[in-house]
A = this chain, B = another copy of it.
Amino acid sequence: MTEIGIIAVGGYNEMGKNMTGVRVDNDIIVLDMGLQLDRVQIHEDVEIDKMHSMDLIKMGAIPDDTVMNEVSGTVKAIVCTHGHLDHIGAIPKLAHRYKAPIIATPYTAELIKHEISDERKFDVGNQVMSLKIGGRYNITPDIQIEFIRMQHSIVDSAFAAIHTPEGVVLYASDFKLDRTPTIGEPPDFQRLKKLGKEGVKAMITESTNSGHSGKTPSERIARDLVRDVLLGTEETESGVIITTFSSHVARINAIIQAAEEMDRIPVLLGRSMERYLSIARDMKYIDFPKNLEIHGSRNAVDKALRRISQDGKKKYLPIVTGHQGEPDSILTRIANGETHFKIDSGDKVIFSANAIPNPMTLANRYALETKLKMAGARIYDNVHVSGHASREDHWELLRMISPEQVVPSHGNMEMHSSYVEMAEDAGYVFGDTVHIMRNGEEMIL
């Protein structure tokens, strides 16, 4: 009989550096290799791209994959189901230690390639393979991977079903059950229900927001909130500037469309804006209107801001980096008065993002907002909905899949506890069918 083990490498003691192993006898599938930015921020003058893995592991910034040495087996594939840095950001530091291809959804694969090409310490030679949603791939004669369509705050997100001789292990992180997404199709409930009926051996799933009551609203609500703020005003001549997650293609699409309705030219500013959006456009996830501008380099950004300033702020809608108050972002540089775009009294600054509840980030946001307010800006905060499932979404998924075993990941023990209590409501038994794992531990199913 085949033995299946789940190896908690990272993201089980904290929300951040996600990495999970699924061992099928001696073959191991690695899911995600993520970065925990928080642990980098607490140090001054850190240049990640030049650092060695062991130093980053010691800092707690990337998963401590030395645990893999103690597991008997060989890594056959590294699988990534979406492109956020807490899932792919450690690939440049860890992937070269495994002779295995990286398999990811197409947009994710493209982002991974860019991450690898930015790396300045290690030579990462792993093959990066693109597997479309709905597609399947045989990793070994016995193990097949299948990507199932899901929704999250980045395009091309999937669940990974690992088909083994003993049944399916479902990797279900990160996700939201959005039935009215603004880009892409709703989650593939038919496939999930079918899997559930056929029987799932184990499910590994994020516990992140399982403590939040109710259901996470659809991205469509976020789109309408953005429109409500941008269009719902009598002060139509004011300067307006908006910031959001560069990787949130659907949100930026909503902003671009609102800009058109406002009769303003959408201007995407910042290196990460340029990267995420250019790739998304090239891969046809998004269409750009003809008048859209996009500027990545500092020089191009500064020139664009000077031109906007001269031409009249009311003709443009700058969409910029800086939603978490990052010190080098465009918005912080504007707030510092380091660009030609001056904030005038009554100008609107819209954060289409939540403030990540981490003291380092809150300090950056505070510094940014204080400077903006002193310059006269009006702040619109949290024009946003989350990309993570809430408690009742988890309830639905769990009942739909009915896995024999369920393991919450992507969170700390408090978040996992919330998941466990929800699972107990659904009839699961702690320590028997629902489990809390800690980084560095393997559980045999």
Q: Mark A144-185, 1 if CB is under 8 A from B, else 0.
A: 000000000000000000000000000000000101100000
Q: Kindly state the separation between the CA atoms of A213 and B228 in the bound complex, as whole angstroms.
A: 15
A137 to chain B, nearest CB (A): 28
Q: Kindly state the separation between the CA atoms of A218 and B229 in the bound complex, as whole angstroms.
A: 10
Does residue A141 face the partner (Cβ distance < 8 Å to B)? no
List the B side residues contacting A359 at CB < 8 Å. 359, 362-363, 365-367
Q: Kindly state the separation between the CA atoms of A379 and B414 in the bound complex, as whole angstroms.
A: 20
List the B side residues contacting A231 at CB < 8 Å. 179
Q: Are A234 and B400 in contact (CB under 8 A)?
A: yes
A237 to chain B, nearest CB (A): 12
List the B side residues contacting A430 at CB < 8 Å. 436, 438, 441
Q: Kindly state the separation between the CA atoms of A213 and B358 in the bound complex, as whole angstroms.
A: 18
Do A218 and B213 form a contact, CB below 8 Å, given A233-B396, A366-B359, A431-B438?
no
Pick from A99-107, A246-254, A380-388 the stretch touching chain B. A380-388
Contacts of A403-445 to chain B: CB distance below 8 A? 412-414, 416-417, 420-421, 424-425, 429-431, 436, 438, 441
A189 to chain B, nearest CB (A): 6
Does residue A326 face the partner (Cβ distance < 8 Å to B)? no
Q: A42-B367, A414-B417 known; 19 other A-B pairs, CB under 8 Å?
A: A43-B336, A44-B327, A60-B374, A179-B228, A213-B381, A214-B380, A215-B229, A215-B233, A218-B232, A221-B224, A234-B396, A235-B399, A348-B392, A359-B363, A359-B367, A362-B362, A363-B364, A430-B438, A431-B441
